[in-house]
Amino acid sequence: MAKKDPTDLTVEERLKTLYQLQTTLSSIDEKRALRGELPLEVEDLEDEIEGLTTRIEKIQADIDEYQRAVAQKKGEIENAKASVERYKAQLNDVKNNREYDTLSKEIEFQSLEIELCNKKIKEANFKVEEKKAELEQNQALIEDRRQALDLKKAELDEIMEETRAEEEKLKVKVKELEVKIEPRLLTSFKRIRKNARNGLGIVYVQRDACGGCFNKIPPQRQLDIKMHKKVIVCEYCGRILIDPELAGVKIATPSTEEKKPRKRAIRKTVKKDEPAVPEAEA
């Protein structure tokens, strides 16, 4: 068969191709489901570590600043002490009371300065201790998160390793199928699939109902679906509907099927259908 323009495909062919695309995408979804929350957990941990790193840097900067302040105050104390010594020496040869009073006042002032500096140093040292404890806590926390991240990453890598090859093959098939589908139909299919909880954009009619939302389909509409003359969507959920026969699905007779396992029944059928798809593709 020569390569056709997607728009040349009959509705029947389009629906068939779309259904093949659906089963392929569902297989990829299943593989991804195996990874579960792991990719998200890895991302969360990476974000948390980044946040902790920033916090640790901030605490370290605070400590540095308090320590600089302590050094500065120590310098001021040295200066004040030197002044006191100098004034005390001058006291020995004062000439009058006024000079004595002035020097005494200076000594008192410098002593108060020293006291104040000591108080500030004490406060800053206290802050440094506080910050150091905070730093230690956050360092322990980041270490813990790094270990958790390593574990999660290893776990994820292992799963990825197992499924990667298969997933790559499926992705290639998706690409092959996608080019066969008319872009407009593909776009709306993708949109439906994205909004559907189970990732199904096209479903087959099952016991007179939509295989996606299980709402009943009126008989006339069912007939239209069987005709494969136009693309028909479920009026409740918007999913594209396909005749099971066209989808290549064998449906269990209603008498053997209970109401409850409906959802499971679909998954099973999709799985069962998988080997049939590569055949159609080849």
Residues in contact with Zn ion by CB under 5 A are: 210, 212-213, 234, 236-237
User: In the complex with Zn ion, which residue's Cβ is closer, 124 or 234?
Assistant: 234
- What span, in angstroms and rounded, lies between the C-alpha atoms of 104 and 115? 16
Phi and psi at residue 252, to the nearest 5°? -65, 145
Cβ 148 to Zn ion shortest distance, Å: 42
Distances (CA, A) of 46 to 49, 57, 145: 5, 17, 9
Q: How many Å separate Cα 256 from the centre of its chain?
A: 43
| C-alpha closest to that of 192 among 232, 144, 161 | 232
User: In the complex with Zn ion, which residue's Cβ is closer, 50 or 208?
Assistant: 208
Q: Got the DSSP string for 138-178? A: HHHHHHHHHHHHHHHHHHHHHHHHHHHHHHHHHHHHHHHHH
Cβ 234 to Zn ion shortest distance, Å: 3
Question: 215: Cβ–Cβ under 8 A, 6 or more apart, which residues?
Answer: 209, 234, 235, 236, 237
Cβ 203 to Zn ion shortest distance, Å: 7
What are the b/e assignments for 203-228, b being 16+ CB within 10 Å?
bbbbbebbbbbbeebeeebbebbeeb
Cβ 235 to Zn ion shortest distance, Å: 8
User: In the complex with Zn ion, which residue's Cβ is closer, 18 or 84?
Assistant: 18
- What span, in angstroms and rounded, lies between the C-alpha atoms of 158 and 273? 28
Cβ 60 to Zn ion shortest distance, Å: 58
Cβ 196 to Zn ion shortest distance, Å: 9
